[in-house]
Structure 1
Amino acid sequence: MVSVETNAERTRGITTVRVVVANTHSTPQTVRLRCCLDGPVWPPQRDGVIDPRWDDGIWETTIRPGRRRGVGFASPEPPTEPLVEVVSSERHRSDDSVTSPSEVLADLDGWCPTSEVLERNP
């Protein structure tokens, strides 16, 4: 599961949106977010170059376990509820040709039984 926090401010006819996504899994997650604003969106840019993770209103990134990532964008349209939606969130696989058992096991989420399961009955 990923958690998404959003914030929007409207100033002089421009809506700026800030989004922070947190990965609560024990494995890297590839997350895709869709902008829900009605109308044109100005994607994030650096030195006039659009962020390559942004494509046609969808932002995609991979987040390591326990980490957070943020993105911001703007629009002349007023804020909507919700501001963004999670299109998908899935375990990131750097190579689809995982074949050995040790590679498969390394790619699994961590798991540990609860203390109730491990208690001995007298």
Structure 2
Amino acid sequence: MVTFDCRAKRVDGVTLVTATVGDIAAPTRITVRNCLDGPLWPPRQQGVPEAGWSEEGFEGVVGPGTHALGYATPAPPADQPAELVGAEPASEDAPADERLDSEDAVVRELGDPAPPADAVPAGEPGEAAAAEGRQPDIPSVEGGDRQADRQPAVVQPSGRSRAASGRRSEQQLPAAVSQWLDTVARRVDRAERLDGADSLSAATAAVRAADGLSGVRAVATRGAADERMLRALARRAEQLADRRAAATVPTETLSRLA
């Protein structure tokens, strides 16, 4: 049975809340809600809230073990600063599925592409102000398997995507991007197999390969979001590639000036 414990302490006018969820035997979707009367300040990564955090609290899939979730708030502490609202079993690939399904998630994994404030020329005050206005990261205090979760997962691509995975590895894509693409490729493989099932036996095999009807629904539900994110990533990558191709660094000139 999943256990839950939470504590709060006041430091320099800010309440720091630590909630510990333990005895998790399998991937589990947990929901923790803030009970204090004030706004929730979640941990941040690359300037955006870490995955799973919202104004209400935390909702996300965690692996087996014990996990600590920490956040801050200006509200005064109370005997019950947070509560465990739900703990439901989740599929093992759910954490990877959710890593890059939004713009904030891409920024968390790959970093903010905006230049630092001191790198923006003085003639472009708008960009400098934007760079200086970014909120600082609030480091997560999550424990347990958190560090392990951030390590690149070993993904076994399905038959149809194996050749594409080989080409990606040759191009040395960042681990986070490669993992997300492999995850989406698995869903595309399942969708193609389900779409191409032209007999009862083929449909039965396709549904079984998709982990049952719940897996079929998940593939169908994520289709539009996957397509939207893939096209957005392609557009962004092409724009950056064009900019990089057009930028020639005058190394020799800068060396002489330096």
* Bigger radius of gyration among the two: 2
8 Å contact from structure 1 (residues 18, 71) kept in 2: yes
- Aligned-partner residue type, residue 49 of structure 1: V
SS in 2 for 1:17: strand
SS in 2 for 1:42: coil
| Higher RCO (CA 8 Å, separation ≥ 6 residues) | 1
Q: TM-score, normalised by structure 1?
A: 0.68
Superposition map of 1:38-117 within 5 A:
38-65=37-64, 67-93=65-91, 94=93, 98-99=211-212
1:87 Cα deviation from its structure 2 partner: 1.3
1:36 Cα deviation from its structure 2 partner: 0.5
CA deviations on 1:67-104 (whole Å, 9 max, x unpaired) are 11122111111112211111111111358x5339xxxx
Residues in 1 aligned to 2:5 and 2:74: alpha-carbon distance in whole angstroms: 21
Residues in 2 aligned to 1:6 and 1:40: alpha-carbon distance in whole angstroms: 18
8 Å contact from structure 1 (residues 35, 83) kept in 2: yes
1:31 Cα deviation from its structure 2 partner: 0.6
- Aligned-partner residue type, residue 59 of structure 1: F
- 4+ aligned runs moved over 3 Å, structure 1: none
8 Å contact from structure 1 (residues 44, 51) kept in 2: yes
Partner of 2:6: 6
8 Å contact from structure 2 (residues 8, 77) kept in 1: yes
8 Å contact from structure 2 (residues 39, 74) kept in 1: yes
Higher relative helix content: 2
Q: TM-score, normalised by structure 2?
A: 0.34
Partner of 2:18: 18
Higher relative strand content: 1
- Aligned-partner residue type, residue 47 of structure 2: G
- Aligned-partner residue type, residue 52 of structure 2: R
